[in-house]
Amino acid sequence: MGIYDYSKLFKTYLETGVSIDIKGHFSAVWGIFQGVQSANSVRQMLARLRETVDRHIWVRGCGMGFVGNGSTSMGSLLASQHAATRTNIALLSQADNADYSIDENFQPEFLQTWAKRACMINAQMRCYREFVLQGLSEDGYRILDADDVGKEEGDRVFESVKAASQELYVEECQAIAHAESISDTEFKKLQDKKAKTKTERHQERKALLNERYGVDVTPELVWKGDDNWYPKLRLHYFLTMGREHLAERDAKRAKSQIEVGDGRRPGFAHRAVWKPDFNRGQLLPAVLLLEELNIRYFLQPGIMFRGSDVKLQNLKALAVKHRYFIRDYLRVSVSEGLSEIAIAQALLGKLGLKLTYIGRKT
């Protein structure tokens, strides 16, 4: 029997603060690490079971959980945060003529510490598998490559683990979708409860999805929720139908954060915010950037696009020109070497969309 890391929800229960001391119950620990959590968190998760049993893991070569703009330079990381804060404040001020000035130098030592840790995590993400294996080796584990047991046996184990993982995840999605619906009061009680049964976790997750998306919860919705669908829908909404409400939404969020900052030291009107959280909560720069790239043109259904189209050529030229802003505000890497279609797909992916391949003209 193994411990499977197949969703963010389940992972939070096994990563830290949990010690499984039972003996003779588990014969192995299994982990599938796609690069969302840090290399240290991977090691912590694998060590939750205190008994000495085999650990079978698959680790992605390059991680996905980059911090900030993904830089490994403190100067670059901090500069991007400072620039983003100024841009966000300028855009908000233009939107409703309110005063959004903040204390730029509030507790810089904490931001320095954040940047140091962020650079470390970003460096590990670039060589994710290497850092995970190095850390496990330093912890005393003996590392055996699956290829060492023979390609045929390794392929068999891989397919077996893959099938088991998919089967367990499908069952989990179905269990959440079919869980009993609970009232708002019961939902709040479950959120405050420390120890929860599997049934209660399923009920809580279903209530959260229902509250967030406002539709009936299906297994497919559970899967999309795990796949970070909500931020994509939100950005898509504020780029299109909800565009007129975007400035109000960002302003409300900014004012709330500034008010919290003002309350940290009563009697001192320093108007402080934590820049990484402040910048992450603002959507106006990302939407303006997508509008500058004319991405809405590619949302039209029934149109066939080719890399040689003028619109795609213009998109690539603008994307390459603004590649640093795209990296900072959309977390998408753009380079001259990428094709027009690849750049369009990457940008549309931020909205939960993609172009469908229909053929090649020769």
Can you read off the two tokens belonging to residue 321? 């020109």
Radius of gyration of the chain (CA): 23
Angstrom distance (rounded) from CA 274 to CA 276: 6
| DSSP-assigned letters across all residues of 294-358 | TGGGGG-TT----TTSHHHHHHHHHHHHTHHHHHHHH-----TTS-HHHHHHHHHHTTT--PPP-
3-state secondary structure of 57: strand
Closest C-alpha to 133, from 36, 201, 59: 59
The answer to whether 85 and 285 have CB atoms below 8 angstroms apart is no
Q: 316 in a domain, yes or no? A: yes
Determine the residue type at 248: E
Q: 335 in a domain, yes or no? A: yes
Q: 130 in a domain, yes or no? A: no
What Cα–Cα distance (Å) separates residue 35 from each residue in 28, 235, 238?
22, 24, 29
Q: 61 in a domain, yes or no? A: no
The answer to whether 285 and 91 have CB atoms below 8 angstroms apart is yes
Q: How many other C-beta atoms are found inside a 10 Å radius of the C-beta of residue 125?
A: 22
Is residue 274 within a helix (H) or strand (E), and if so which, with residue range?
none
pTM of the predicted model, to two decimals?
Answer: 0.78
Q: 314 in a domain, yes or no? A: yes
Q: 247 in a domain, yes or no? A: no
Number of domains comprising the chain: 1
Closest C-alpha to 63, from 1, 126, 153: 126
Determine the residue type at 276: P
Q: 352 in a domain, yes or no? A: yes
Angstrom distance (rounded) from CA 68 to CA 74: 11
pLDDT tens-digit profile, the chain (362 residues): 233 333 333 444 455 567 888 888 999 888 888 888 889 889 988 988 888 899 988 899 999 889 988 899 999 999 999 999 999 999 988 887 777 877 777 778 889 999 999 999 999 999 999 999 999 999 999 998 876 656 677 677 778 878 888 899 999 999 999 999 999 999 999 999 888 999 999 999 999 999 999 999 999 999 999 988 999 999 999 999 999 999 999 999 998 888 876 555 544 445 678 899 999 999 999 999 999 999 999 998 888 888 888 999 999 999 999 999 999 999 999 999 999 999 999 999 999 999 888 887 77
Domain that holds residue 314: 293-362
Q: 322 in a domain, yes or no? A: yes
